[in-house]
Amino acid sequence: LRWFLGRPKNLPPGPWGFPLIGSVLAIGREIRRGVEPHDLFMRYAAKYGPVFRLKIFNKTVVVLNDYSSVKEAFQHPQLQDRPKMLLTKVLKSDGVSIASGQPWLELRRFSLTVLRSFGVGKTSFEEKIGTEAEELMKEMSAFSGKPFDPKPLLGNAVSNVICNVVFGKRYEYTDEQFNKLLSLLGRNFKLLGAGAAVNFFPALRYLPFVSIDEIIANFEEIRMFITTIIDNHRANFDADDVKDFTDSFLMEIKRNEAKDASGVKHGLLSEGNLVGTVTALFAAGSETTATTLQWTLLYMAVYPEIQQRVQAEIDAVVGRNRLPRMADKPELNFTRAVIWEVQRLSLIVPLGVAHAAAADTQFRGFLIPKDTLLVPNLWAVTHDPKVWPEPDQFKPERFLNDKGEAVQAEELIPFSVGRRSCIGEHLAKMELFIFFSFFLHQFTFKKPDNSPPLSLKGRGGLNYSPFNFEICVISRE
Ligand code: HEM
């Protein structure tokens, strides 16, 4: 009705859109010309202010473009839903990352508690990550300094860390089925750039230039793989020996069923969101961290003098006789600053993950109507020149104070902020530190001789990742 009556007066400002389709053509034209959506939105923000509105078909989208607006919106209890998505419907499963309302709260609480109970986020977990990092380094050494594409190995290693917790197992780097699965996942993260629009605006599906069929087929294959693992867990389930996240979830479902029999209200955890949650942890826990590590290697090869400074710091603090540990982290100031600066500059989820308004909400004097999509432009936050002078320059020193100590900046939010921020943040930070510090303790990364310069320009999608590249890993011993 609101749509027929015209838009309410106090929506945030934004570009004019055609009746029925809104700004679809204008945005589509820019994207086809190669403009990344986060850059386009920064342009709109310069014109309309940090909180602006777009109309995409009959849906209102509000884009948040600076730290204070993202932080404020993502703390608001009514702005924590996820938009209804085509993929949820097609895949017939919900899970922690796509659920809304009370089921989401319950799934999130449960997931965090169980991840913690298996050590995630605690210092004791460093051993598991370290063991995987050592396996990975053996594989890297096997190339004996010859160029190779590090992406598949990094993906496999990082994925093993989360698989260990969620499924209780790791996969050999030679496992073809697992490698295929990871490449399908990577492909979907890319396709979800254009596909994300279809995901939220199913009408786009019928336009000839957009295809969501491949995304669905890939997710189906991933889901089959995960369903088989869950079936195995179910067949071998032992309530006295709960080994991993999947077992814990099955246990909780059984507990809920038992309560039901005695007449107590049924809990919200169900088989449907077991598949969805396990898939979410696997998907979110693999591609993101592996892509960040890819970026760190690239930056080190492109900035050899910074690489040397990190190596010198690690050698001074850790020495050459053992590998770095979490306990060394507070003293590895420059190393931490480098990781932060890579995360800031090559922010891997440029438009975050959209939220939706659960009800009409007043925000900064504007009306955010129910079901409005809220898109955090995290890229704009970490490239805001008011916060980061020369935002496009790689300058790890920006995170060091006068005494050379690393100082975390509140505005560095690669994991988003607020009530729905990434649940893997502690795990990811630990992984990034361990993998990166191990690498630089043992190796020097170099551009292959006679190859064109390595590019620090990435490409979008759901994640912002480097173009395929090859690198040489030289042992420091
Ligand atoms: C959500 C970033 C690693 C699991 C998110 C969100 C972002 C993000 C931006 C959206 C938050 C929001 O809706 O406002 C990252 C980055 C990572 C990373 C940059 C690595 C560098 C991980 C890992 C896990 C994980 C290792 C595995 C435990 C999740 C889950 C959600 C999420 C389950 C959905 C949370 C919810 O909807 O309540 N992540 N993430 N992430 N992440 Fe991560």
Q: Give per-residue pLDDT as tens, 359-404.
A: 999 999 999 999 999 999 999 999 999 999 999 999 999 999 999 9
Q: Give per-residue pLDDT as tens, 217-266.
A: 888 888 888 899 999 999 999 999 999 999 999 998 888 777 666 665 55
What's the CA-to-centroid distance between 421 and ligand 1, angstroms?
Answer: 7
Which residue minimizes the CA distance to atom 43 of ligand 1? 422
Which of 77, 76, 104, 73 minimizes the C-alpha distance to 88?
Answer: 104
Characterize 148-164 residue by residue with b for buried, 16 or more Cβ atoms within 10 angstroms of its Cβ, and e for exposed: bebbbbbbbbbbbbbbb
Q: Which atom of ligand 1 is nearest to the CA of 98?
A: 37
What's the CA-to-centroid distance between 16 and ligand 1, angstroms?
Answer: 33
Q: Which atom of ligand 1 is nearest to the CA of 428?
A: 26
> What is the share, in percent, of the chain residues with pLDDT greater than 90?
64
Secondary structure string (H, E, C) spanning the chain = CHHHHCCCCCCCCCCCCECCCECHHHHHHHHHCCCCHHHHHHHHHHHHCCEEEEEECCEEEEEECCHHHHHHHHHCHHHCECCCCHHHHHHCCCCCCCCCHHHHHHHHHHHHHHHHHCCCCCHHHHHHHHHHHHHHHHHHHCCCCCCECCHHHHHHHHHHHHHHHHCCCCCCCCCHHHHHHHHHHHHHHHHHHHHHHHHHCHHHHHCCCCCCHHHHHHHHHHHHHHHHHHHHHHHCCCCCCCCCHHHHHHHHHHHHHHHHHCCCCCCCCCHHHHHHHHHHHHHHHHHHHHHHHHHHHHHHHHCHHHHHHHHHHHHHHHCCCCCCCHHHHHHCHHHHHHHHHHHHHCCCCCCCCCEECCCCEEECCEEECCCCEEEECHHHHHCCCCCCCCCCCCCHHHHECCCCCECCCCCCCCCCCHHHCCCCHHHHHHHHHHHHHHHHHHEEEECCCCCCCCCCCEECCCCCEECCCCEEEEECC
What's the distance, CA 124 to chain centroid? Answer: 24
Phi, psi of 65 (to 5 degrees): -120, 5
Predicted confidence band of residue 70 (pLDDT cuts 50, 70, 90)? very high
What's the CA-to-centroid distance between 413 and ligand 1, angstroms?
Answer: 11
Please state, in angstroms and as integers, the Cα–Cα distance from residue 262 to each residue in 110, 155, 267, 271, 280, following that order.
Answer: 22, 46, 13, 20, 32
Angle at the Cα of 186 from the Cα atoms of 184 and 188, rounded to 5 degrees: 70
Q: Is the pLDDT of residue 1 over 60?
A: no
Q: Please work out whether the CB of residue 421 comes within 6 Å of at least one atom of ligand 1.
A: yes
Write down the ipTM of this complex.
0.99
Which of these ranges, 68-72, 79-83, 133-137, has the smallest mean pLDDT?
79-83
What's the CA-to-centroid distance between 378 and ligand 1, angstroms?
Answer: 13
Q: Is the pLDDT of residue 112 over 90?
A: yes
Q: Give per-residue pLDDT as tens, 6-60.
A: 556 799 999 888 777 777 777 777 777 778 889 999 999 999 999 999 988 778 8
Are the beta carbons of 82 and 100 closer than 8 angstroms?
yes
Q: Give per-residue pLDDT as tens, 148-169.
A: 999 999 999 999 999 999 999 9
Which of 348, 309, 298, 343 minimizes the C-alpha distance to 456?
Answer: 298
Q: Please work out whether the CB of residue 422 comes within 6 Å of at least one atom of ligand 1.
A: yes
Q: Give per-residue pLDDT as tens, 298-339.
A: 999 999 999 999 999 999 999 999 999 999 999 999 999 999
Helix axes 304-318, 271-302, angle to 10 degrees: 110
Q: Cα separation of 86 and 151, whole Å?
A: 30
